[in-house]
Structure 1
Amino acid sequence: MTQTITPFRAAREQTAGRPRRRNDVMECEFVVEGAVGTTVSDVDARRVRHMRTIVGDQLRGPGLSGLRETAEVVVSELVTNAIVYGGGTVKLSLLVTRAEVRLLVRDSGIGSPLQGEPALDAESGRGLLIVELLAAELGGGWGFTPESRTSWCALPIRQAGS
């Protein structure tokens, strides 16, 4: 099981004697064990849980903990989607700015990711709908970059008093 994790790099500015977040970046990368379009292997399922835990741990700080559970669900859905439909190398990036938490997941598949329309009785296929609803509930956004197989979700950070 090969996995690379680049630790959170905190870039901070001083504002009125207090540190202020500028950009924090964390990246994780792994190679999918299972075949594209098949059930998620046990190894890959553990990787989804691991990515979720890593993101959750990074969002334990002041001002970010309110986004932790939502970000964990979003990561689970985006990483699972990349494993099932993209395969190859999957890269998760977490970017924290003053205004938002941005999650990006890139895979090695071909073509553009698509949001499906699962049947009412289907047991899967709702991951991207969940991401869309969670982002909308918080006033954020989500989508795919047109030039790569990267799915993203932006969750706004609520400032004190807002």
Structure 2
Amino acid sequence: MMMMTTAVLAESERPSKIMNQEVSGASSVVGSTSVMEAPVVLPSFFDVAVRADPSRVEHARRITKAWLSRRCLMAEDRTDVLVVVISELCTNAIVHGRVDEFGLRGRMGPDGRVRLEVRDAPSAVPSPQHVDSGAESGRGLLLVDAFITELGGAWGFTPDGATAWCEVPLTPARVGPAPLPGSSR
């Protein structure tokens, strides 16, 4: 069973009008805007519990992708890379976590960075392994390291090994000098 915790909207994220309609009194609504036209305001974070079953990794990927693309407005190519990272971290939680469910959390900071976390039971802090070319598993953290480095971010584990995290800028860092004003570059 997947459960989503209630997300509390920060004051700046709350709509100033309810469904684009003014509210006067406790029971009367003035206006004719339909519910379908009301803007959807998603919180700048999410926190869900996911059953530790391999079939649930797809749910974790979908939640992460929807949040990154719809709330954070992250570019599709960056979103796709982070979805692979989350898939690896969730799979590790299922295989090594010794729990019935694991936590998946995302947060977008005011500094334009996105942080994703996967929580399971405390354990020894894992590290990337170099495995033989014929091995069927063991490359997940190497992929995480390569992808997060490519995105200009950082990743790791909490000291108790219970939480794997990654943090990346919402947009890629600018490489090279800025274009000159009026140039076509």
Match of 1:71 among 74, 79, 82: 82
Rate the CA distance shift 1:8–1:155 in 2: closer, same or farther, 3 A: farther
Question: What amino acid maps onto 2:166 in structure 1?
Answer: C
Alignment TM-score, normalising by the size of structure 1: 0.75
Rate the CA distance shift 1:7–1:117 in 2: closer, same or farther, 3 A: farther
Rate the CA distance shift 1:56–1:123 in 2: closer, same or farther, 3 A: same
Match of 2:91 among 80, 83, 87: 80
Alignment TM-score, normalising by the size of structure 2: 0.67
**Structure showing the higher strand proportion among its residues:** 1
Structure 1: 5+ residue stretches without partners: 15-22, 33-43
Kindly indicate whether residue 49 of structure 2 is the aligned counterpart of residue 29 of structure 1. Answer: yes
1:94 match: 106
CA contact (8 A) 1:113 1:149 kept: no
Q: Who wins on radius of gyration, i.e. which is larger?
A: 2
Structure 2: 5+ residue stretches without partners: 14-42, 176-185
Question: How many corresponding residue pairs?
Answer: 142
Compute the RMSD of aligned alpha carbons.
2.6
1:53 match: 62
Distance 2:150 2:7 in 1: 27
Secondary structure of the residue that 2:3 maps to in structure 1? Answer: strand
Secondary structure of the residue that 1:87 maps to in structure 2? Answer: coil
> Which structure has more RCO (C-alpha within 8 Å, separation ≥ 6)?
1
1:149 match: 162
Distance 2:159 2:153 in 1: 19
2:5 match: 6
Secondary structure of the residue that 1:113 maps to in structure 2? Answer: coil
